[in-house]
Amino acid sequence: MLGANSLIYFGMNSWIASYNQAIHASSLTPIVLAVLNTAQLPASIGVTFFAQRLAGRRWPFIVSGVICMLAITGWAMTPPTLEILWVTLLGGSSALVFTLGIALPPLLAKPTEVARLTGLTLSLTYCVAFVGPLLGGRLWDIFHLPLLAFLPVAVASVTLVVLGALLPSYAAFK
């Protein structure tokens, strides 16, 4: 889940400027990037107040994935002037998933395996975050469609929903 989430966040950060330049909306880039990154702060802080009630539950990951799916669909299908709305949703949702997802290894692993699972999780997370924008750029190059740079973000959003649904039930963590 953290890999899909990081792909969403880093994929958007990677391609917003180039995409906006390609669609002749460069003037939106500074505010869109600022909002994407700033939206993470209130979401991260807000989730800490409810972290004990949310940690290990499926629904926050599923809801965040659905929000990301809606936002990337909105990004693709609406005028560039609405990019700020979509990145607000993407930034906030990705912050929620990261904050709750980072708490999963201690919940899922035996105490003697927490460090190993955390290390593996973070390693895979950043590998996925690297490969997603690379794949998006390749798709853009092959098909000459700037919007295809965001296809890995859309796939990651769906993956987030699926993996959230497959998370062991909260009762299993008790």
Q: Are 7 and 152 in contact (CB under 8 A)?
A: yes
Counted domains in the chain: 1
How many Å apart are CA 91 and CA 128, to the nearest integer? 18
Q: How much is the pLDDT for 49?
A: 82
Residue 105 per-residue DSSP state: H
* Position 145 pLDDT exceeds 60: yes
Over residues 15-60, the pLDDT tens digits come to 999 999 999 999 999 999 999 999 999 988 888 887 777 777 888 9
For residue 26, the surrounding DSSP H or E stretch is none
Residue 24 per-residue DSSP state: T
The CB-based long-range contact list for 108-117 (8 Å cut-off, 24+ gap) reads: 108/168, 108/173
Over residues 76-96, the pLDDT tens digits come to 999 999 999 999 999 999 999
Measured CA distances, 70 to 63, 84, 130, 157 (Å): 11, 14, 23, 9
Please report, rounded to a whole number, the percentage of residues in the chain having pLDDT higher than 70: 97
What domain range is 108 assigned to?
2-173
Query: What count of Cα atoms within 13 Å lies in the side-chain half-sphere of residue 118?
Result: 12
Nearest to 71 by CA among 58, 62, 82: 82
**pLDDT band at 143, cuts 50/70/90?**
very high
What is this structure's pTM?
Answer: 0.89
Average pLDDT, the chain: 91
CATH for 23: 1.20.1250.20
* Position 64 pLDDT exceeds 90: yes
Q: How much is the pLDDT for 171?
A: 60
